[in-house]
Structure 1
Amino acid sequence: MVTPQQPPRPELEFLARAEVTLDEVLDLGGTPHGRRRIVPITGGRFEGPRLTADVLPGGADWQILQSDGWVRVEARYTARADDGSLVSITSRGVRHGPPEVMAALLAGQSPEPSTYRFRTAITFETAEDSPDYAWLNHVVAVSSALRRPDAVVLDVYAVR
């Protein structure tokens, strides 16, 4: 049975630009799931109309380089918002492009961002009584990102 109703089209609301600084990549090598790389997070900052926070050191991005050339990313880290609230951030996504672009990224170079796709889905967790940021607990967010040798830059959007 076909219904004439249509689901509403989602809209994106810009939350912040994040620059997340990174340490040296730890390459575990081939595993049963693919080539595992761990990229320690050393700091950074979210700056935007809805979210301003410092990224705390101690998180990491656990990457899997698949045999088909796709990279699966899963970053978990914590930020301290400007009001003092702690925010746990989980960002899962993919990075892919032509083989020469992916090789340049793996070599620590910064190819033109339009030559590869780097997208993530982001969830947030913070205290329910956080006066300025409790709303993040109910946000589905997405990002478009680029990789630099020492950082990842993400434009983060709430899906409305």
Structure 2
Amino acid sequence: MQAPGLRPLCEIRADLGPPIEKGGGPGGRWRIIPIIGGTVEGERLSGRILDLGADWQNVYDAGYAELDTRYVIETHDGAMIDIRNFGFRHGPPEVLARLAAGETVDPALYYMRTNPRFQTGDPRYAWLNHTMFIGTGERMANFVRIFIFEVL
């Protein structure tokens, strides 16, 4: 059996609003980070991110964050595509502290991977509904950049 390959799909830049801290419980805290816009650039998928999504994060004392985002892409040709993106971010405590302080940190110093799932009723993009994707990302002060790849 052949191992799956990857084909680039797009780069997402999701602009972020200020985090809303929800408190927490044993082992971590919860926060919501509004997704207030952004861009999608790729040969097969491009457009803009609408101002109506968020990342519901669980940040664990064990040193990792569980990412759970949902937002909408409006393509360059008018299709509406829902994206749900689940993932993890972790790294050395000093690197995560720098990220939390809003510093720009080399993404090679921490792990940020996602599993995006797309859903649309537009027949031009129906192939997104039944295709697997993987993403690698980086966190900046006011936005997240995610490179998404189709799993072949």
In structure 2, stretches of 5+ residues that fail to align are: none
1:14 equivalenced with 2:8 (yes/no): yes
The Cα of 1:139 is off from its aligned counterpart by 1.4
1:52 equivalenced with 2:17 (yes/no): no
> How far, CA to CA, are the matches of 1:46 and 1:112 in structure 2?
22
Q: TM-score, normalised by structure 1?
A: 0.91
The Cα of 1:30 is off from its aligned counterpart by 1.6
Question: How many residues end up aligned between the 2 structures?
Answer: 152
Partners of 1:33 and 1:64 within 8 A in 2: no
Select the residue among 130, 143, 146 that pairs with 1:138.
130
1:80 equivalenced with 2:74 (yes/no): yes
Q: How does 1:59-98 map to 2 (within 5 A)?
A: 59-98=53-92
Q: Which amino acid aligns with 1:140?
A: M
> How far, CA to CA, are the matches of 1:33 and 1:72 in structure 2?
13
Q: Which residue of 2 aligns with 1:120?
A: 114
> How far, CA to CA, are the matches of 1:123 and 1:32 in structure 2?
30
CA RMSD in angstroms comes to 1.2
1:149 equivalenced with 2:137 (yes/no): no
Q: Which residue of 2 aligns with 1:24?
A: 18
Identity %: 39
In structure 1, stretches of 5+ residues that fail to align are: 1-6
Q: Which amino acid aligns with 2:142?
A: D
The DSSP-based 3-state class of the residue aligned with 2:124 is coil
The Cα of 1:33 is off from its aligned counterpart by 6.6
C-alpha distance 119-83 of structure 1, shift in aligned 2 (>3 A): same
> How far, CA to CA, are the matches of 2:116 and 2:2 in structure 1?
21
Q: Which residue of 2 aligns with 1:4?
A: none
Q: Which residue of 2 aligns with 1:3?
A: none
The Cα of 1:54 is off from its aligned counterpart by 0.7
